[in-house]
Amino acid sequence: MMVNHDVTDRMENIPDEKFTIIGIDKDAEAPTRPRVGYWRDAWRRLKENKVAFAALIILLILVFFIIFGPAISGYEFEQIDADAINKGPSAEHWFGTDDLGRDLFARVWQAGRVSIIIGILGAVIASVVGSIYGGIAAYFGGAVDDIMMRIVEVLLSIPYLIIVILISVITDSKSLGTMLVALTLTGWCGIARLVRGQMLQLKSQEYVLAANALGVAPIKIILKHMIPNTIGMIIVAITFDIPGYIFSEAFLSYVGLGIQPPSTSWGALASAAQQNFMFYPYQLMFPALMIALTMLSFTLLGDGLRDALDPKLRK
Amino acid sequence: MAKFIVKRIGYMLVTLFIVVTATFFLMHSIPGDPLAHMARNLPEQTRENYYEKYGLDKSTSEQYLIFMKNLVTKGDLGESLRYPGREVTDTLLTNASVSAQPGGLALLAGIAIGILLGIVAALNKNRWPDYIVMFIAILGITVPVFVLASVLQYFLSVKLMVLPTTGWGSWQNVVLPVIVLSFGTIATYARYVKSNMLDVMGQDYILTAEAKGVSKLNVVKKHVLKNAFLPCMTLLVGQVSGIFTGSFVVEKIFGIPGLGFYYINSINDRDYTMIIGTTVFAAALFVFVQLVVDIAYSIMDPRIRVK
């Protein structure tokens, strides 16, 4: 007892000036490295993936030429030159000329505009429609989900090209807009399924349950948890879909149901060149090379993006 | 199981009904006269006879009922508008059997080679056989068929003159189309089998088998292959039905008188009955093959039925 008394006595005897506020070192707890967000992290991983990064560079080069190529060539893509018909690649005409003496360098890049626009717009439209559809189905669930998914099943069991051909016959217009409608009409179904599956999976995750239990508003859960966790998957799906649309457009133009002269696309160029292929193989070579290069780059980039954007694959 | 099959058949019929109805009304909603090309310069009476023959004097809904009745009771899809006297159903069957020859051979060759390459690639992951197979697979996916067809024609037919360029009738005519058609199949299967096998090889039951001391050959034979092949069956749906509908491009390039070739022709001819007929035929085939594959799949993999 005495000892205790002693201690308190001594405590009371400590003068006030012995107590100084030394403050809190606020920086002690701060991370020494900069905060790495989802996108920056994904970008870092994409840069490390040499194949995907090379594909990205190739795509950027292609896009550069598609934008500036026709101007660089110094020729109009429709300009007919009777003195330079079916000339092979040379200093004046880098990719040669076609059977009307039109400069193929200008034409290939002009055609690339149509092909790339169809590829990107087609994939983006299909993904947006598909994501909204799939999201609604997953959100409401039950009977709504059942009916919505049955519709998708029916649409998916109609052969894709048949629909595309049918639409272009029915509308009897071969403009870029009609092509997009025809190509995306059932193109969104696959993405709708993907998004629905992902959303359903997310709905049963513990952190969403926790958010629900804490009373977070549904709209906030959707914005904070559902969408950020699906967006990576949608981006990957878009990347993989672009070559598909480019290919479908090339195919349609090739059989004469696609883009019509005077405008042109890679498929239309290939189709025109195929008739002269035995004599002027270079005319097919360039558009075919561009189609192959674009499809290859998007496929490889898609592979890389999938690894970069999916945190579950993180090691 | 019986319940599953009945449910599946029900879906199939509903899908088919929707496709047929939609195609019919869409084609009939096209503005313009489907007989314009031949009836324009004919005398009034002859023209009326023509319209009566094709039932075009009736309203669209009446035409639809007649069309459905003929289709369901007799399997009759009507008569070609462009070539009077040619039954659509007969034409379809003849053309489909032509398409099926290169198509069937290409599918068999493509699946066999593709699966083999996929297995080789999966067992040699990140070694040179894997890289070679994946290079072939990427080529097969990125090179458009019409380019491959033209290049092969150029080298094998024009330069070396070992095979005919186009035509139909002898076995030499089939070789090039089969190579071109199977290339894409090889690429798809090689990629798919490889990724499926790698997937299965990471499963716990493989680890268990290895831990028990099962030989590598037996692990691959009894566990990996069986489980990796199952998902490949879903790929078959588009491809088996594709055998009969044929490839539009390949048939056009090689001059094969198959279904794809005539489909493009009937579109360019605006031959409405043929277009409807071919669409219905292709959709029916697709849906039917899907049904068969679904049932086969559920017999082989009981996990599907539970879901």
Residues A177 and A147 sit within 8 Å (Cβ to Cβ): no
In the block, which residue shows the tokens 């076609």?
A98
Amino acid at position A45, single letter: R
DSSP string, B185-198: HHHHHHHHHHHHHH
Residue B74, pLDDT score: 79
Q: Which residues in chain A are closer than 8 Å to B23, comparing Cβ atoms?
A: 166
* Runs of H (alpha helix) within B202-301: 204-212, 216-218, 225-229, 233-245, 248-254, 259-269, 272-300
Mean of pLDDT over chain A? 79
Question: How far is B50 from B27, CA to CA, in rounded Å?
Answer: 19
Q: Which residues in chain B are closer than 8 Å to A170, comparing Cβ atoms?
A: 26-27, 29-30
Best CA proximity match to B261, nearest among B172, B163, B186, B168 = B168
The Cα of B113 is separated from the nearest Cα of chain A by a number of Å equal to 22
pLDDT band at A1 (very low <50, low <70, confident <90, very high): very low
Tokens of A45: 């991983």
Residues B243 and B256 sit within 8 Å (Cβ to Cβ): no
Helix, coil or strand: residue B88: helix
Q: What is the largest CA-CA distance in chain B?
A: 88
Q: Which residues in chain B are closer than 8 Å to A243, comparing Cβ atoms?
A: 142
Residues A291 and A266 sit within 8 Å (Cβ to Cβ): yes
Picking from B7, B18, B146 by the largest number of A CB atoms within 10 A of its own CB, the best residue to mutate is B146
Question: How far is A105 from A65, CA to CA, in rounded Å?
Answer: 10
Best CA proximity match to B119, nearest among B239, B229, B284 = B229
Q: Which residues in chain B are closer than 8 Å to A256, comparing Cβ atoms?
A: 264, 268
Residues B261 and B274 sit within 8 Å (Cβ to Cβ): no
Tokens of B157: 């037919």
Helix, coil or strand: residue B79: strand
Question: How far is A295 from A275, CA to CA, in rounded Å?
Answer: 24
- Backbone dihedral region of A50: left (phi > 0), alpha (psi from -120 to 50 degrees) or beta? alpha
User: Within 10 Å of residue B145's Cβ, how many Cβ atoms?
Assistant: 20
In the block, which residue shows the tokens 């009955």?
B273
pLDDT in tens, chain B (307 residues): 778 788 888 888 888 888 888 888 877 777 666 676 666 677 777 777 777 777 777 777 888 888 888 888 777 777 777 777 778 888 888 888 888 888 888 888 888 898 889 888 888 877 888 888 888 888 887 787 878 888 888 887 777 777 777 777 677 777 788 888 888 888 888 888 888 888 888 888 888 888 888 888 888 888 888 778 777 777 777 777 777 766 777 888 888 888 888 887 887 777 778 888 888 888 888 888 888 888 887 787 776 665 4
CA B198 to the chain's CA centroid: 28
Amino acid at position A145, single letter: D
Range B204-220 burial, b when 16+ CB lie within 10 A, else e? eebeebeeeebeeeebb
Q: How far is CA A221 from CA A84, A137, A194, A205, in A?
A: 64, 16, 20, 12
Helix, coil or strand: residue A137: helix
Question: How far is A23 from A31, CA to CA, in rounded Å?
Answer: 20
As a dihedral over the C-alpha atoms of residue B32, residue B38, residue B42, residue B47, rounded to 10 degrees, the angle is -60
Are residues A251 and B19, on separate chains, in Cβ contact within 8 Å? no
Question: How far is B299 from B233, CA to CA, in rounded Å?
Answer: 12
Pairs of residues, one from chain A and one from chain B, whose beta carbons lie less than 8 Å apart: 90
Residues A62 and A290 sit within 8 Å (Cβ to Cβ): yes
The ipTM value here is: 0.71
DSSP-derived secondary structure letter, A157: T
Q: Which residues in chain A are closer than 8 Å to B154, comparing Cβ atoms?
A: 277-278, 281
Residues A91 and A74 sit within 8 Å (Cβ to Cβ): no
Are residues A292 and B279, on separate chains, in Cβ contact within 8 Å? no
Residues B297 and B237 sit within 8 Å (Cβ to Cβ): no
Hey, is the C-beta of B15 within 8 angstroms of any chain A C-beta? yes
Helix, coil or strand: residue A32: coil
Q: Which residues contact A134 (CB under 8 A, 6 or more apart)?
A: A191, A192, A193, A194, A195, A196, A197, A199
Question: How far is A259 from A268, CA to CA, in rounded Å?
Answer: 7
CA A296 to the chain's CA centroid: 14
Question: How far is B148 from B143, CA to CA, in rounded Å?
Answer: 7
Tokens of A256: 């004469």
DSSP string, B68-97: HHHHHHH----B-SSSTT-BHHHHHHHHHH
Residue A7, pLDDT score: 63
Please state the φ and ψ torsions of residue A172, each to the nearest 5 degrees: 55, 30
Hey, is the C-beta of B153 within 8 angstroms of any chain A C-beta? yes
Residue A173, pLDDT score: 67
User: Within 10 Å of residue A148's Cβ, how many Cβ atoms?
Assistant: 18
Residues A80 and A30 sit within 8 Å (Cβ to Cβ): no
Q: Which residues in chain B are closer than 8 Å to A252, comparing Cβ atoms?
A: none
Question: How far is A290 from A95, CA to CA, in rounded Å?
Answer: 12
Q: Is the peptide bond before B43 cis (omega within 30 degrees of 0)?
A: no
The Cα of A314 is separated from the nearest Cα of chain B by a number of Å equal to 16
Helix, coil or strand: residue B54: coil
Closest residue of chain B to A289, computed from CA coordinates: B143
Measured at the CA of A178, the angle between CA B39 and CA A241, to 5 degrees, comes to 135
pLDDT band at A315 (very low <50, low <70, confident <90, very high): very low
Amino acid at position B119, single letter: I
Q: pLDDT tens for residues A90-136? A: 767 677 777 676 777 778 888 888 888 888 888 888 888 888 888 88
Are residues B144 and A296, on separate chains, in Cβ contact within 8 Å? no
Residues B216 and B170 sit within 8 Å (Cβ to Cβ): no
Best CA proximity match to B259, nearest among B90, B79, B97, B19 = B97
Long-range contacts of the stretch B3-8 (C-beta < 8 A, 24+): B4/B295, B4/B298, B4/B305, B5/B295, B8/B291, B8/B294, B8/B295
Closest residue of chain A to B242, computed from CA coordinates: A159
